[in-house]
């Protein structure tokens, strides 16, 4: 057996590469990163591809090792230059993020040390760091020091944590679900509906409250519906409102909705995954009036703090309810049982094993300071307003509501008014084929709109000017084809 162990030790030793090997790999990966980053100004925002990255199948898992250079080349050919380039300054589709460079360094540091940040006992400093970040978010949103929160993989898990915590805080049992009522608008993110289903509440009544002319949830209609439901013997318990809907960037009247939630005793959740960190911008403070009155808030640093995908957060005022839902202890973890100074992330989340996400957030915030983030967010607001203003000067184009944050909508309307949806679909396809700027679309009451979502930190006036130029060129070409 000793000989066998020694033989296996020799074979598996390659998993601990030498300093020279590490230096070689480090150099090559950093070269790849620098080449990618330095080429972003010239790279497209969208790459059309006939095979759609199928070449990566040539690099399936095998018994023998593969040289790093060929693996990096495979990534460049089959991943980096296929489909959307979400690091591009021209990526103005969906809700962009950005991928700050120090976040990659933070991830590297977290992965190299492989700190387990789920339990305080295992990594007290890592847990303190993440909780410090969450306390900063709570202060930003006006939540008290007694609140709790969790760094999640994104808004979907954050919304799930919020709705399950609300369910338990209201004492709802399975027999109550078919009478429970959840209120949201048609513009609510679909992760809410998914979370409701995962939480076992598919039988609950979903009330889609009408919107006003600016696509915001109507507080007056909300109160009318709650009153009707209570009169009918149902159990209203949860309101979802948004600060920055994914579709249109609309900001619901949070303070008025908070009045209603307090009046009827409902849990108020704010989905601020996209718009939450715009609270850093002094000019936008009126849009956040009443945010401190919410019971829970979803935030996504991978959106309006420009971090890599996989960085979300949820804040909850009722720490006791959050713990009662998620806190469990297994026998094999008996050594971790102690009176800790800090909440353990695993005790307030579905996750037990988790990546040390805090490093990717803390490092750039500390290296750059909040001033730079505040300026970048304010710039995006003004860029959206500028595009909204300038596209109206181009004959044939009309716009949606005035942008409240950094999302705006437009469409081209032919002179005869016919084929409007079709020509806008064709225009979007032309933009995609061009690739320099990437936009996405939405449909509202059967009308096809093209969205401009400005949130990449490296997107500046030159990209917006380029978009305006491309739109005029492409629409002229489409009109000539008719």
CATH number for 138? 3.40.640.10
Q: What is the mean pLDDT of residues 393-406?
A: 96
Measure the CA–CA gap between 385 and 40, rounded to whole angstroms: 25
Q: What is the mean pLDDT of residues 404-430?
A: 92
Tell me: do 359 and 408 sit in the same domain. Answer: no
The DSSP 8-state label assigned to residue 202 in this structure reads T
Q: With 0.75 as the threshold, say if the pTM is over it.
A: yes
Tell me: do 130 and 189 sit in the same domain. Answer: yes
What is the pLDDT confidence band of residue 187, given thresholds at 50, 70 and 90? confident
Closest CA to 293 of 347, 251, 239: 239
Tell me: do 279 and 206 sit in the same domain. Answer: yes
Instruction: Indicate the number of domains in the chain.
Output: 3
Spacing of C-alpha 317 from chain mean position: 21
pLDDT attached to residue 333: 58
Model pLDDT for residues 87-100, shown as the tens digit of each residue: 999 999 999 888 89
318 within some domain: yes
Tell me: do 178 and 257 sit in the same domain. Answer: yes
Runs of H (alpha helix) within 179-304: 190-198, 219-231, 254-264, 301-304
Q: Is the dihedral of CA 324, 326, 327, 329 positive or negative?
A: positive
pLDDT attached to residue 66: 97
102 within some domain: no
Measure the CA–CA gap between 83 and 373, rounded to whole angstroms: 28
Q: What is the mean pLDDT of residues 11-19?
A: 95
Q: Is the pLDDT of residue 477 over 90?
A: no
Average pLDDT, the chain: 94
Answer whether 120's CB lies under 8 Å from 340's CB: yes
- Residue that terminates a domain, selected from 85, 120, 145: 85
Question: 8: domain range?
Answer: 2-85
95 within some domain: no
Tell me: do 377 and 348 sit in the same domain. Answer: no
Model pLDDT for residues 370-385, shown as the tens digit of each residue: 999 999 999 999 999 9
DSSP 44-110: -SEE--SSTTGGGGGG---SS---HHHHHHHHIIIIITSEE-TTSTTB-SSS-----HHHHHHHHHH
Tell me: do 381 and 255 sit in the same domain. Answer: no
What is the pLDDT confidence band of residue 22, given thresholds at 50, 70 and 90? very high
């Amino acid at each position: 057996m000793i000989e066998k162990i020694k033989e296996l030790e020799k074979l598996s030793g390659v998993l601990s590469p030498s300093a020279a090997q590490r230096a070689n790999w480090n150099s090559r990966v950093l070269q790849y990163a620098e080449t990618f980053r330095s080429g972003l100004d010239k790279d497209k925002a969208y790459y059309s591809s006939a095979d759609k990255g199928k070449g990566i199948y040539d690099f399936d898992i095998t018994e023998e090792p593969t040289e790093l250079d060929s693996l990096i080349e495979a990534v460049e050919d089959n991943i980096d230059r296929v489909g959307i380039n979400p690091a591009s300054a021209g990526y103005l589709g969906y809700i962009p993020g950005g991928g700050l460079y120090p976040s990659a360094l933070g991830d590297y540091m977290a992965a190299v040390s492989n700190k387990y940040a789920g339990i305080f006992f295992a990594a007290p400093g890592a847990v303190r760091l993440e909780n410090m970040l969450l306390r900063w978010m709570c202060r930003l949103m006006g939540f008290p020091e007694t609140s709790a929160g969790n760094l999640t993989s994104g808004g979907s898990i954050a919304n799930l944590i919020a709705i399950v915590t609300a369910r338990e805080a209201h004492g709802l049992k399975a027999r109550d679900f078919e009478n429970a009522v959840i209120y949201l608008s048609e513009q609510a993110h679909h992760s809410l509906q998914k979370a409701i289903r995962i939480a076992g509440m598919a039988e609950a009544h979903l009330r889609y409250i009408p919107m006003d002319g600016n696509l915001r949830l109507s507080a007056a209609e909300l109160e009318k519906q709650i009153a009707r439901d209570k009169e009918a013997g149902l159990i209203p318990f949860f309101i979802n409102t948004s600060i920055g809907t994914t579709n249109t960037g609309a900001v619901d009247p949070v303070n008025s909705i908070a009045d209603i939630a307090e009046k009827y005793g409902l849990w108020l959740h704010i989905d601020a995954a996209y718009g939450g960190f715009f609270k850093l911008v002094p000019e936008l403070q009126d849009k956040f009036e009443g945010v401190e009155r919410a019971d829970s808030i979803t935030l996504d640093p991978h959106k309006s703090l420009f971090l890599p995908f996989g960085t979300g957060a949820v804040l909850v005022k009722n720490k006791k309810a959050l713990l009662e839902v998620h806190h469990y202890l297994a026998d094999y973890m008996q050594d971790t049982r102690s009176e800790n100074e800090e909440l353990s992330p695993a005790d307030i989340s579905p996750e037990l094993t988790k990546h040390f996400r805090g490093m990717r957030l803390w490092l750039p915030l500390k290296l750059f300071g909040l001033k730079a983030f505040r300026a970048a967010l304010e710039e995006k607001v003004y860029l959206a307003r500028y595009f909204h203003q300038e596209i109206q000067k181009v004959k044939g184009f009309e716009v949606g509501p005035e942008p409240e944050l950094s999302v705006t909508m437009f469409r081209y309307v032919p002179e005869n008014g016919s084929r409007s949806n079709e020509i806008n679909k064709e225009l979007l396809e032309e933009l995609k084929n061009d690739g320099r700027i990437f936009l996405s679309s939405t449909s509202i009451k059967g009308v096809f709109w093209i969205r401009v979502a400005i949130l990449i930190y490296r997107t500046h006036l030159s990209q917006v000017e380029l978009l305006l130029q491309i739109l005029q060129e492409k629409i002229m070409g489409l009109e000539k084809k008719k």
